[in-house]
Structure 1
Amino acid sequence: MGDTVAQVEALRTGGDAVRKQGLDDLAAGTWTLGPHHWERTAVLSHYLAGEWFSVHCFRDAGTGEPICWYVNFELPHRRRDGGIDTMDLALDLVVIPDLAGHHFKDCDEYSRLRRLGVFDDCLDRQVQQARSRAITMLDNSTGPFGAGWPTWAPDPAWPLPLLPDGADRAAEPLAPYRP
Protein backbone atom coordinates (compact mmCIF):
# COMPACT_ATOMS: atom_id res chain seq x y z
CA MET A 1 0.00 0.00 0.00
CA GLY A 2 1.42 3.41 -0.87
CA ASP A 3 1.05 6.68 0.92
CA THR A 4 2.83 9.99 0.68
CA VAL A 5 6.21 10.06 2.36
CA ALA A 6 5.02 12.90 4.64
CA GLN A 7 1.91 10.97 5.72
CA VAL A 8 3.99 7.89 6.51
CA GLU A 9 6.38 10.04 8.58
CA ALA A 10 3.46 11.72 10.36
CA LEU A 11 2.01 8.30 11.23
CA ARG A 12 5.37 7.22 12.61
CA THR A 13 6.11 10.37 14.63
CA GLY A 14 2.67 11.89 15.22
CA GLY A 15 4.14 15.10 13.82
CA ASP A 16 1.53 17.66 12.77
CA ALA A 17 4.14 19.86 11.04
CA VAL A 18 5.16 16.93 8.82
CA ARG A 19 1.50 16.33 7.91
CA LYS A 20 0.98 20.01 7.03
CA GLN A 21 4.12 19.92 4.88
CA GLY A 22 2.61 16.92 3.09
CA LEU A 23 -0.44 19.03 2.19
CA ASP A 24 1.83 21.77 0.85
CA ASP A 25 3.76 19.17 -1.16
CA LEU A 26 0.49 17.81 -2.56
CA ALA A 27 -0.56 21.31 -3.64
CA ALA A 28 2.84 21.96 -5.23
CA GLY A 29 2.89 18.58 -6.99
CA THR A 30 6.18 17.67 -5.26
CA TRP A 31 4.92 14.74 -3.19
CA THR A 32 6.12 11.18 -3.69
CA LEU A 33 4.71 7.82 -2.68
CA GLY A 34 6.33 5.84 0.09
CA PRO A 35 5.77 2.33 1.40
CA HIS A 36 3.32 1.81 4.24
CA HIS A 37 2.48 -1.43 6.00
CA TRP A 38 -1.06 -1.66 7.43
CA GLU A 39 -1.09 -2.82 11.04
CA ARG A 40 -3.15 -2.94 14.25
CA THR A 41 -6.54 -3.03 12.52
CA ALA A 42 -8.44 -5.18 10.07
CA VAL A 43 -10.58 -3.31 7.57
CA LEU A 44 -13.46 -4.31 5.33
CA SER A 45 -13.98 -1.73 2.58
CA HIS A 46 -17.06 -0.95 0.52
CA TYR A 47 -16.64 1.09 -2.68
CA LEU A 48 -19.85 2.38 -4.20
CA ALA A 49 -19.83 2.79 -8.00
CA GLY A 50 -19.63 6.45 -9.02
CA GLU A 51 -19.74 7.70 -5.42
CA TRP A 52 -17.52 10.36 -3.88
CA PHE A 53 -16.89 8.31 -0.74
CA SER A 54 -16.12 4.79 0.38
CA VAL A 55 -17.15 3.14 3.63
CA HIS A 56 -14.74 1.13 5.78
CA CYS A 57 -15.36 -1.01 8.84
CA PHE A 58 -12.38 -1.11 11.19
CA ARG A 59 -11.85 -3.90 13.70
CA ASP A 60 -9.12 -4.61 16.18
CA ALA A 61 -6.80 -7.03 14.34
CA GLY A 62 -6.22 -9.10 17.45
CA THR A 63 -9.69 -9.36 18.94
CA GLY A 64 -11.96 -8.70 15.96
CA GLU A 65 -13.91 -6.15 18.05
CA PRO A 66 -15.52 -3.33 16.02
CA ILE A 67 -13.67 -0.01 16.33
CA CYS A 68 -15.56 2.30 13.98
CA TRP A 69 -17.14 2.85 10.61
CA TYR A 70 -15.07 5.25 8.54
CA VAL A 71 -16.40 7.21 5.56
CA ASN A 72 -13.53 8.37 3.37
CA PHE A 73 -14.39 11.18 0.96
CA GLU A 74 -12.53 10.68 -2.31
CA LEU A 75 -12.83 10.94 -6.07
CA PRO A 76 -15.01 8.17 -7.53
CA HIS A 77 -12.82 5.10 -7.76
CA ARG A 78 -11.52 3.71 -11.04
CA ARG A 79 -10.72 0.02 -11.48
CA ARG A 80 -7.45 -1.07 -13.07
CA ASP A 81 -5.38 -4.22 -13.21
CA GLY A 82 -4.12 -4.87 -9.71
CA GLY A 83 -6.56 -2.67 -7.83
CA ILE A 84 -8.40 0.61 -7.84
CA ASP A 85 -7.31 4.22 -8.05
CA THR A 86 -8.86 7.23 -6.42
CA MET A 87 -7.72 10.41 -4.71
CA ASP A 88 -8.34 11.00 -1.04
CA LEU A 89 -10.05 14.34 -0.43
CA ALA A 90 -8.77 14.63 3.16
CA LEU A 91 -12.24 14.78 4.75
CA ASP A 92 -13.52 11.81 6.75
CA LEU A 93 -16.55 10.85 8.80
CA VAL A 94 -15.95 8.58 11.81
CA VAL A 95 -19.00 6.64 13.05
CA ILE A 96 -19.26 4.54 16.21
CA PRO A 97 -20.05 0.84 15.60
CA ASP A 98 -23.74 1.04 16.59
CA LEU A 99 -24.24 4.07 14.25
CA ALA A 100 -25.51 6.20 17.18
CA GLY A 101 -22.84 8.90 16.90
CA HIS A 102 -20.39 10.37 14.43
CA HIS A 103 -18.00 13.25 13.84
CA PHE A 104 -16.19 14.71 10.86
CA LYS A 105 -12.41 14.41 10.88
CA ASP A 106 -9.72 16.43 9.13
CA CYS A 107 -11.95 19.38 8.24
CA ASP A 108 -8.91 21.60 8.79
CA GLU A 109 -6.88 19.63 6.24
CA TYR A 110 -9.70 19.81 3.71
CA SER A 111 -9.96 23.60 4.25
CA ARG A 112 -6.19 23.97 3.87
CA LEU A 113 -6.24 22.08 0.56
CA ARG A 114 -9.10 24.34 -0.59
CA ARG A 115 -7.02 27.43 0.29
CA LEU A 116 -4.02 25.96 -1.52
CA GLY A 117 -6.14 25.50 -4.66
CA VAL A 118 -6.01 21.69 -4.74
CA PHE A 119 -9.81 21.48 -4.50
CA ASP A 120 -11.81 24.02 -6.49
CA ASP A 121 -15.43 25.15 -6.07
CA CYS A 122 -16.71 22.49 -8.45
CA LEU A 123 -15.06 19.70 -6.50
CA ASP A 124 -16.20 21.25 -3.20
CA ARG A 125 -19.84 21.11 -4.38
CA GLN A 126 -19.41 17.40 -5.12
CA VAL A 127 -17.92 16.83 -1.66
CA GLN A 128 -20.73 18.73 0.06
CA GLN A 129 -23.32 16.67 -1.84
CA ALA A 130 -21.44 13.47 -0.94
CA ARG A 131 -21.41 14.50 2.74
CA SER A 132 -25.17 14.88 2.56
CA ARG A 133 -25.63 11.48 0.87
CA ALA A 134 -23.39 9.74 3.42
CA ILE A 135 -25.23 11.31 6.38
CA THR A 136 -28.59 10.38 4.82
CA MET A 137 -27.45 6.75 4.42
CA LEU A 138 -26.23 6.77 8.01
CA ASP A 139 -29.39 8.38 9.41
CA ASN A 140 -31.64 6.00 7.46
CA SER A 141 -29.44 2.90 7.97
CA THR A 142 -29.25 2.29 4.22
CA GLY A 143 -26.47 1.40 1.80
CA PRO A 144 -23.41 0.00 3.58
CA PHE A 145 -25.03 0.95 6.92
CA GLY A 146 -28.20 -1.04 6.22
CA ALA A 147 -27.34 -4.43 7.64
CA GLY A 148 -25.51 -3.51 10.82
CA TRP A 149 -21.88 -4.28 11.49
CA PRO A 150 -20.50 -6.55 8.74
CA THR A 151 -19.56 -9.99 9.96
CA TRP A 152 -17.78 -11.18 6.83
CA ALA A 153 -14.11 -12.04 7.19
CA PRO A 154 -11.83 -14.05 4.93
CA ASP A 155 -11.30 -17.68 5.84
CA PRO A 156 -8.04 -17.81 7.87
CA ALA A 157 -7.04 -20.90 5.83
CA TRP A 158 -6.99 -18.89 2.60
CA PRO A 159 -3.52 -18.12 1.30
CA LEU A 160 -2.41 -14.51 1.36
CA PRO A 161 -3.27 -13.05 -2.06
CA LEU A 162 -0.48 -11.87 -4.31
CA LEU A 163 -0.70 -8.73 -6.37
CA PRO A 164 -0.32 -9.25 -10.13
CA ASP A 165 2.86 -8.21 -11.89
CA GLY A 166 2.90 -4.48 -12.43
CA ALA A 167 0.46 -3.65 -9.63
CA ASP A 168 3.11 -1.45 -8.05
CA ARG A 169 3.48 0.69 -11.17
CA ALA A 170 1.99 4.13 -11.07
CA ALA A 171 -1.46 4.36 -12.60
CA GLU A 172 -2.53 6.90 -15.14
CA PRO A 173 -3.04 10.22 -13.35
CA LEU A 174 -6.61 10.97 -12.43
CA ALA A 175 -7.84 13.89 -14.48
CA PRO A 176 -9.43 16.74 -12.54
CA TYR A 177 -13.11 16.14 -12.12
CA ARG A 178 -15.47 18.33 -14.10
CA PRO A 179 -19.21 17.61 -14.19
Structure 2
Amino acid sequence: MTGTEGMRRWAPGEHVLWRYRDIASGDVHICRPVTVVRDAEDVLAVWVAPGTECVKPVLVDGTSVHEEPLATRYTAARTTTRSPWLGNGVLKLARPGEPWSVWLFWDQGWHFRSWYVNLEEPRTRWSGGIDSTDHFLDISVFPDRSWVWRDEDEFAQAQHVGLMDSGTAELVGRAGRSAVDLIESWGRPFRDGWEEWRPEPHWTVPVLPDDWDRTPAHMPS
Protein backbone atom coordinates (compact mmCIF):
# COMPACT_ATOMS: atom_id res chain seq x y z
CA MET A 1 0.00 0.00 0.00
CA THR A 2 1.08 3.57 -0.60
CA GLY A 3 0.57 6.44 1.77
CA THR A 4 0.98 4.29 4.89
CA GLU A 5 3.57 6.39 6.66
CA GLY A 6 2.69 6.98 10.29
CA MET A 7 -0.45 4.85 10.16
CA ARG A 8 -1.08 2.06 12.62
CA ARG A 9 -1.66 -1.52 11.59
CA TRP A 10 -5.23 -2.74 11.77
CA ALA A 11 -6.00 -5.57 14.16
CA PRO A 12 -7.62 -8.85 13.06
CA GLY A 13 -11.38 -8.48 13.29
CA GLU A 14 -11.31 -4.71 12.77
CA HIS A 15 -13.70 -3.25 10.18
CA VAL A 16 -12.40 -0.98 7.41
CA LEU A 17 -13.53 0.05 3.90
CA TRP A 18 -12.21 -1.31 0.60
CA ARG A 19 -13.10 1.30 -2.03
CA TYR A 20 -12.66 1.97 -5.74
CA ARG A 21 -12.78 5.39 -7.34
CA ASP A 22 -14.29 5.99 -10.76
CA ILE A 23 -11.53 6.29 -13.34
CA ALA A 24 -13.18 9.34 -14.96
CA SER A 25 -14.55 11.39 -12.04
CA GLY A 26 -12.38 10.17 -9.17
CA ASP A 27 -15.50 9.74 -7.03
CA VAL A 28 -15.91 6.62 -4.90
CA HIS A 29 -18.32 4.35 -6.77
CA ILE A 30 -17.57 0.99 -5.12
CA CYS A 31 -17.35 0.56 -1.35
CA ARG A 32 -17.16 -2.73 0.55
CA PRO A 33 -16.98 -2.87 4.33
CA VAL A 34 -14.53 -5.63 5.19
CA THR A 35 -13.09 -7.42 8.20
CA VAL A 36 -9.31 -7.37 8.59
CA VAL A 37 -7.78 -10.87 8.59
CA ARG A 38 -4.11 -9.84 8.59
CA ASP A 39 -2.39 -6.50 8.26
CA ALA A 40 1.34 -7.02 7.92
CA GLU A 41 4.26 -5.60 5.97
CA ASP A 42 3.90 -8.24 3.26
CA VAL A 43 0.11 -8.44 2.85
CA LEU A 44 -3.24 -6.94 3.77
CA ALA A 45 -5.88 -9.68 3.91
CA VAL A 46 -9.56 -8.83 4.38
CA TRP A 47 -12.85 -10.72 4.33
CA VAL A 48 -16.05 -9.59 2.60
CA ALA A 49 -18.71 -11.48 4.53
CA PRO A 50 -21.88 -12.78 2.81
CA GLY A 51 -24.70 -10.28 3.08
CA THR A 52 -22.46 -7.27 3.69
CA GLU A 53 -24.17 -4.08 2.51
CA CYS A 54 -21.95 -2.57 -0.18
CA VAL A 55 -22.09 0.27 -2.69
CA LYS A 56 -21.87 -0.44 -6.41
CA PRO A 57 -22.41 1.55 -9.62
CA VAL A 58 -25.64 1.16 -11.60
CA LEU A 59 -27.22 3.00 -14.49
CA VAL A 60 -29.48 5.90 -13.48
CA ASP A 61 -32.57 3.75 -14.07
CA GLY A 62 -31.20 1.12 -11.66
CA THR A 63 -30.11 -1.32 -14.37
CA SER A 64 -26.97 -3.33 -13.68
CA VAL A 65 -23.93 -1.93 -15.47
CA HIS A 66 -23.19 -5.32 -16.99
CA GLU A 67 -26.66 -5.51 -18.55
CA GLU A 68 -25.84 -2.43 -20.63
CA PRO A 69 -24.43 -3.21 -24.11
CA LEU A 70 -20.67 -2.87 -24.24
CA ALA A 71 -20.85 -0.05 -26.79
CA THR A 72 -22.57 2.26 -24.29
CA ARG A 73 -21.54 0.66 -20.99
CA TYR A 74 -19.05 3.40 -20.16
CA THR A 75 -20.93 6.36 -21.63
CA ALA A 76 -24.41 5.78 -20.17
CA ALA A 77 -25.18 7.92 -17.11
CA ARG A 78 -24.54 6.20 -13.78
CA THR A 79 -25.28 6.51 -10.12
CA THR A 80 -24.64 4.26 -7.12
CA THR A 81 -26.83 1.97 -5.07
CA ARG A 82 -26.58 -0.03 -1.87
CA SER A 83 -26.69 -3.77 -2.36
CA PRO A 84 -25.82 -6.84 -0.25
CA TRP A 85 -22.78 -8.93 -1.18
CA LEU A 86 -24.21 -12.07 -2.73
CA GLY A 87 -22.66 -15.52 -2.63
CA ASN A 88 -20.29 -17.07 -0.12
CA GLY A 89 -18.03 -14.13 0.63
CA VAL A 90 -14.58 -13.37 -0.72
CA LEU A 91 -11.10 -13.12 0.78
CA LYS A 92 -9.05 -10.27 -0.69
CA LEU A 93 -5.26 -10.11 -0.57
CA ALA A 94 -3.24 -7.00 -1.37
CA ARG A 95 0.55 -6.94 -1.39
CA PRO A 96 2.30 -3.54 -1.10
CA GLY A 97 2.95 -1.83 -4.40
CA GLU A 98 1.50 -4.55 -6.62
CA PRO A 99 -0.88 -3.21 -9.30
CA TRP A 100 -3.41 -5.94 -8.57
CA SER A 101 -5.17 -7.65 -5.71
CA VAL A 102 -5.93 -11.38 -5.49
CA TRP A 103 -9.38 -12.57 -4.44
CA LEU A 104 -10.35 -16.08 -3.33
CA PHE A 105 -13.78 -17.58 -3.98
CA TRP A 106 -15.44 -20.65 -2.49
CA ASP A 107 -18.60 -22.56 -3.39
CA GLN A 108 -21.02 -23.90 -0.78
CA GLY A 109 -19.37 -26.06 1.85
CA TRP A 110 -16.08 -24.18 1.51
CA HIS A 111 -15.18 -25.96 -1.71
CA PHE A 112 -12.46 -23.75 -3.17
CA ARG A 113 -13.37 -22.47 -6.62
CA SER A 114 -10.71 -20.05 -7.89
CA TRP A 115 -8.47 -17.05 -7.43
CA TYR A 116 -9.24 -13.80 -9.23
CA VAL A 117 -6.51 -11.30 -10.06
CA ASN A 118 -8.05 -7.83 -10.17
CA LEU A 119 -5.73 -5.43 -11.99
CA GLU A 120 -5.92 -2.05 -10.28
CA GLU A 121 -4.00 1.02 -9.19
CA PRO A 122 -1.68 0.26 -6.23
CA ARG A 123 -3.80 1.01 -3.21
CA THR A 124 -3.70 4.19 -1.16
CA ARG A 125 -4.17 3.62 2.54
CA TRP A 126 -5.99 6.00 4.85
CA SER A 127 -7.16 5.71 8.44
CA GLY A 128 -10.47 4.04 7.55
CA GLY A 129 -9.45 1.75 4.72
CA ILE A 130 -7.87 1.64 1.28
CA ASP A 131 -8.72 3.23 -2.07
CA SER A 132 -7.84 2.15 -5.59
CA THR A 133 -9.01 2.49 -9.21
CA ASP A 134 -10.03 -0.59 -11.17
CA HIS A 135 -8.20 -1.19 -14.45
CA PHE A 136 -10.86 -3.37 -16.12
CA LEU A 137 -8.61 -6.31 -17.03
CA ASP A 138 -8.63 -9.40 -14.81
CA ILE A 139 -7.39 -12.99 -14.62
CA SER A 140 -9.08 -16.10 -13.23
CA VAL A 141 -6.78 -18.75 -11.77
CA PHE A 142 -7.95 -22.29 -11.03
CA PRO A 143 -6.82 -24.96 -8.56
CA ASP A 144 -5.05 -26.89 -11.35
CA ARG A 145 -2.95 -23.71 -11.90
CA SER A 146 -4.53 -22.96 -15.27
CA TRP A 147 -5.59 -19.38 -15.90
CA VAL A 148 -7.65 -17.25 -18.32
CA TRP A 149 -7.92 -13.54 -19.05
CA ARG A 150 -11.18 -11.86 -18.06
CA ASP A 151 -12.89 -8.70 -19.34
CA GLU A 152 -10.56 -8.10 -22.26
CA ASP A 153 -13.52 -6.56 -24.11
CA GLU A 154 -14.13 -4.05 -21.32
CA PHE A 155 -10.43 -3.19 -21.22
CA ALA A 156 -10.51 -2.47 -24.96
CA GLN A 157 -13.75 -0.48 -24.72
CA ALA A 158 -12.39 1.68 -21.90
CA GLN A 159 -9.58 2.69 -24.22
CA HIS A 160 -11.95 3.19 -27.16
CA VAL A 161 -14.14 5.69 -25.29
CA GLY A 162 -11.18 7.54 -23.79
CA LEU A 163 -11.41 6.37 -20.17
CA MET A 164 -7.87 5.03 -20.37
CA ASP A 165 -5.09 6.53 -22.47
CA SER A 166 -2.57 4.44 -24.38
CA GLY A 167 0.19 5.01 -21.83
CA THR A 168 -1.94 3.79 -18.94
CA ALA A 169 -3.18 0.86 -21.03
CA GLU A 170 0.41 -0.17 -21.71
CA LEU A 171 1.20 -0.06 -17.99
CA VAL A 172 -1.87 -2.18 -17.24
CA GLY A 173 -0.91 -4.67 -19.94
CA ARG A 174 2.58 -4.86 -18.49
CA ALA A 175 1.12 -5.42 -15.02
CA GLY A 176 -1.05 -8.20 -16.41
CA ARG A 177 1.95 -9.93 -17.95
CA SER A 178 3.79 -9.65 -14.63
CA ALA A 179 0.80 -11.21 -12.88
CA VAL A 180 0.84 -14.07 -15.40
CA ASP A 181 4.54 -14.61 -14.69
CA LEU A 182 3.72 -14.79 -10.99
CA ILE A 183 0.93 -17.30 -11.63
CA GLU A 184 3.08 -19.51 -13.85
CA SER A 185 5.87 -19.55 -11.26
CA TRP A 186 3.26 -20.15 -8.54
CA GLY A 187 4.56 -17.31 -6.43
CA ARG A 188 2.89 -15.60 -3.53
CA PRO A 189 0.07 -15.48 -2.60
CA PHE A 190 -0.96 -18.55 -4.64
CA ARG A 191 1.44 -20.87 -2.83
CA ASP A 192 0.60 -19.55 0.64
CA GLY A 193 -2.34 -21.85 1.42
CA TRP A 194 -4.97 -19.14 1.78
CA GLU A 195 -7.57 -21.45 0.27
CA GLU A 196 -7.58 -23.30 3.61
CA TRP A 197 -8.35 -20.12 5.55
CA ARG A 198 -11.68 -19.70 7.35
CA PRO A 199 -13.23 -16.65 9.09
CA GLU A 200 -13.47 -16.53 12.85
CA PRO A 201 -16.96 -17.62 13.98
CA HIS A 202 -17.35 -14.66 16.35
CA TRP A 203 -16.78 -12.01 13.67
CA THR A 204 -19.73 -9.72 12.96
CA VAL A 205 -20.76 -8.42 9.56
CA PRO A 206 -19.41 -4.86 9.06
CA VAL A 207 -21.90 -2.01 8.70
CA LEU A 208 -21.77 0.35 5.73
CA PRO A 209 -21.37 3.87 7.21
CA ASP A 210 -23.41 6.80 5.98
CA ASP A 211 -20.22 8.64 5.01
CA TRP A 212 -18.84 5.73 2.96
CA ASP A 213 -17.71 8.16 0.22
CA ARG A 214 -15.89 10.61 2.51
CA THR A 215 -12.57 12.11 1.48
CA PRO A 216 -9.99 11.76 4.27
CA ALA A 217 -8.25 14.99 5.20
CA HIS A 218 -4.83 13.86 3.97
CA MET A 219 -6.08 12.64 0.59
CA PRO A 220 -6.59 14.86 -2.46
CA SER A 221 -10.20 15.72 -3.21
Smaller-chain TM-score bracket: 0.7 to 0.9
SS at match of 2:125: strand
SS at match of 1:109: helix
SS at match of 1:63: helix
Structure with higher RCO (Cα < 8 A, 6+ apart):
2
- CA deviation after TM superposition for structure 1 residue 93, in Å: 0.4
| Aligned counterpart for 1:129 among listed residues 160, 170, 174 | 174
| Aligned counterpart for 2:143 among listed residues 66, 72, 97 | 97
Q: Identify if the C-alpha distance between structure 1 residues 164 and 34 changes in structure 2 by more than 3 Å, giving closer, same or farther.
A: closer
SS at match of 1:34: strand
CA distance in 1, matches of 2:130, 2:142: 27
Q: How does 1:51-70 map to 2 (within 5 A)?
A: 51-60=98-107, 62-70=108-116
- CA deviation after TM superposition for structure 1 residue 10, in Å: 2.7
- CA deviation after TM superposition for structure 1 residue 162, in Å: 4.3
List alignment gaps of at least 5 residues for structure 2.
1-53
- Say if 2:112 and 2:195, in contact at 8 Å, map to a contact too: no
CA distance in 2, matches of 1:37, 1:158: 17
- CA deviation after TM superposition for structure 1 residue 149, in Å: 4.8
List alignment gaps of at least 5 residues for structure 1.
none
Tell me how many residue pairs correspond in the alignment: 164
Task: Say which structure is richer in strand.
Answer: 2
Q: How does 1:1-179 map to 2 (within 5 A)?
A: 1-6=54-59, 9-10=63-64, 15-17=67-69, 21-25=72-76, 30-60=77-107, 62-99=108-145, 101-162=146-207, 166=211, 168-171=212-215
What code does the residue aligned with 1:104 have?
A: W
Question: Equivalent pairs: percent with the same residue?
Answer: 29
Over the aligned positions, Cα root-mean-square deviation in angstroms equals: 2.6
- Say if 2:99 and 2:119, in contact at 8 Å, map to a contact too: yes
Task: Say which structure is richer in helix.
Answer: 1
What code does the residue aligned with 2:197 have?
A: W
